[in-house]
Amino acid sequence: MNPLATLRALALVPARLVYALWTVLVFVGVGLTALLLLAVLPDVARRRAAARAAARTFLRLVAMPLTVRFPEHIPPGQCVVVCNHASYLDGIVLTAALPPRFGFVIKREMAAVPLAGAVLRRLGSEFVERFNRQRGAADARRVLRNASNGHSLVFFPEGTFARTPGLLKFHTGAFATAARAGCPVVPAVVRGTRRALAPSGALPLPGPLELQILAPLAPVPAAPDKAAPELRDRARAAILAALGEPDLTCCGDTARPPDTARARSARASRL
């Protein structure tokens, strides 16, 4: 190892610790303010607008400027946005970037997390069951019903994220919802969040973030059970091409996340 690189890394540790503390303080301060607003605002549209302002304020204060490329690709009407998943920061980025008419589809376990569950419910998020098939089917019908009523939704179709760069398998739920509702799927690519907030627990780093909105994809005229896989594959190919990262599903074990017990559990629990 290069001694100069080691000394440089050690010299940056105090600065990164100070930045990490500042990030925590900003997150708590902005989060509590947003929580109060969400508790008193009377309708979902205003709550989502407040959450969007809070997300933008947080990113600005922690020196993570967000650039949204090609926002004109978002249709004015109903659609389903699907995005790659790189870190815990992705939800904040999409909240800051997308119009307030979008709601998130989230694993049901989050509903039981203190404060987070209450915030997500106040924002009109859709919770879906991953382990109980009967309840999961009921959740899927509810999401579809809301989509059929004109709601626009955001999915992370990988269901989780890996520590190493690359795109995991996409689950079909988002695309089945879009196909049955007859609305376009809008692929999106988030960049910079893996570096900014690594899932390994490393100290956060300031720096630019980007959300690139790709061209919308219309469902092909076919039965939903055939249209959904085709739509999924088209969206995944578009995200892979724009992302420039490896496909973790097609290159054998060498391209997959480490086969630790934690990684196996995460893969098994994905939608």
pLDDT tens digits along 140-167: 667 767 666 678 899 999 988 877 788 9
Residue 216's SS3 state is coil
Assess whether pLDDT exceeds 90 at residue 205: no
Model confidence at 137, pLDDT cuts 50, 70, 90, reads low
Q: What is d(CA 104, CA 106) in angstroms, rounded to the nearest whole number?
A: 6
**Percent of the chain surpassing pLDDT 90:** 44
**Average pLDDT score over the chain:** 82
**pLDDT for the residue 108:** 73
**Percent of the chain surpassing pLDDT 70:** 77
Mean pLDDT, to the nearest integer, of 104-121?
80
Q: What is d(CA 58, CA 66) in angstroms, rounded to the nearest whole number?
A: 11
Assess whether pLDDT exceeds 60 at residue 258: no
Q: What is d(CA 167, CA 236) in angstroms, rounded to the nearest whole number?
A: 9
* CATH tag, 64-269: 3.40.1130.10
Extents of the domains making up the chain = 64-269
* pLDDT tens digits, one per residue of 5-61: 666 666 677 888 888 899 999 999 999 999 999 999 999 999 999 999 999 999 999
Q: What is d(CA 169, CA 158) in angstroms, rounded to the nearest whole number?
A: 6
Model confidence at 126, pLDDT cuts 50, 70, 90, reads confident
Place of tokens 């809301």: 146
Place of tokens 């019903």: 145
Q: What is d(CA 78, CA 148) in angstroms, rounded to the nearest whole number?
A: 9
